[in-house]
Amino acid sequence: MAIFITFEGVEGCGKSTQAELLKGHLEAVGRKVVAVREPGATPVGEKIRSILVGSEGEGMSPLTELFLYEVCRAELVHKVIKPALEAGVDVICDRFTDSTLAYQGWGRGLDVGVIKRLNSIATSGLVPFVTFFLDCPPEVGLGRAFKRMRQGTPEDRFEKEALSFHSSVRKGFMELAAQEPDRVRIIDANRDISLIHGEICDIIKRCVSRKS
Ligand code: TMP
């Protein structure tokens, strides 16, 4: 049975690296895998991503921001994620519904109940099999993000937010993990990349054997 895995966390937590490593691991054990990111991964999603994370989106209202993330999600779920899962292909998604709850809910202060409802509409009720919340202090993550910027990666709109915003986002992820401990696994991301990867592979192995 195909599995749907998501990675979450504050800026610079290392989730994209871990998503890539996990894809390699699952392929090495013979599974078919598609890796995508949110926002993006469809032509519509990538166009909206540039507005959402780039300077064009500066000053947009939190509600506009929320709807744009949900637009990207609806397109990605219906065009890519669901068809892949139905075809027996695992899907790894770099950010998903929990990011909207943490960033637009805890970060921007929008109503968490409304976001949960919109998430459910955009995904037609699709929930990840397992979610890895890569936890690190926001100042550590932002330090890594700024280092990447100095090496040429353009800054994104959220990286300019105050530390207090990122601390609220982290608190949101923590609360979501407390609400759904079976699905959302907290991973200490302030460690060696290979240690983190090993822990993630172990969890996947246990979850898959429990489900099959
Ligand atoms: P990335 O840097 O992990 O690719 O994510 C892009 C930015 O979008 C990141 O700063 C987090 C933000 N984001 C939200 O605010 N809400 C969402 O629902 C998602 C998916 C991302």
* pLDDT tens digits along 15-32: 999 999 999 999 999 999
What is the average per-residue pLDDT within 7-17?
96
- 33-37/130-135 β-pairing: unpaired
How far, in Å, from the CA of 39 to the mean position of ligand 1? Answer: 7
The residue whose CB lies within 8 Å of the most ligand 1 atoms, and thus the one to mutate among 38, 66, 159, is: 38
Determine the pLDDT at residue 183. Answer: 97
Q: Which of 21-35, 118-132, 141-155 has the lowest mean pLDDT?
A: 141-155
- CA-closest residue to ligand 1 atom 10: 158
Residue-level pLDDT at 212: 67
| Residue 178, CA distances (Å) to 32, 67, 198 in order | 31, 26, 23
Ligand 1 proximity of 106 Cβ (cutoff 6 Å): no
Q: How many domains does the chain have?
A: 1
Q: How far is the CA of 52 from the centre of ligand 1 (A)?
A: 8
CATH number at residue 154: 3.40.50.300
At residue 77, does pLDDT exceed 90? yes
Q: Beta 130-135 vs 184-188: how paired, if at all? A: parallel
45-49, 144-148, 194-198, 201-205: the lowest-pLDDT one: 144-148
- Residue entry with tokens 């519904």: 97
Residue span of the structural domain in which 85 resides: 4-211
Is ligand 1 within 6 A of the CB of residue 158? yes
pTM for this model (two decimals): 0.96
Task: Assess contact for 33 and 92: CB atoms under 8 A.
Answer: yes
pLDDT bin (cut points 50, 70, 90) of residue 153 is confident
187: pLDDT strictly greater than 90 = yes
112-123 helix and 62-76 helix, angle to the nearest 10 degrees:
30
Residue by residue, DSSP assigns 118-153 as HHHHHHTT---SEEEEEE--HHHHHHHHHHHHHTTP
What does the pLDDT average to over 136-153? 88
**How remote is the CA of residue 134 from the centroid of ligand 1, in Å?**
14
Cα 89 to ligand 1 centre (Å): 24
Q: Residue 147: its pLDDT value, please? A: 87
Residue 175 confidence (pLDDT): 98
How confident is the prediction for the chain on average, in pLDDT?
95
Residue 100 pLDDT > 90, yes or no?
yes
Cα–Cα dist 191/13, whole Å: 10
Residue 74 clears pLDDT 90, i.e. is over it: yes
The amino acid at residue 9 is: G
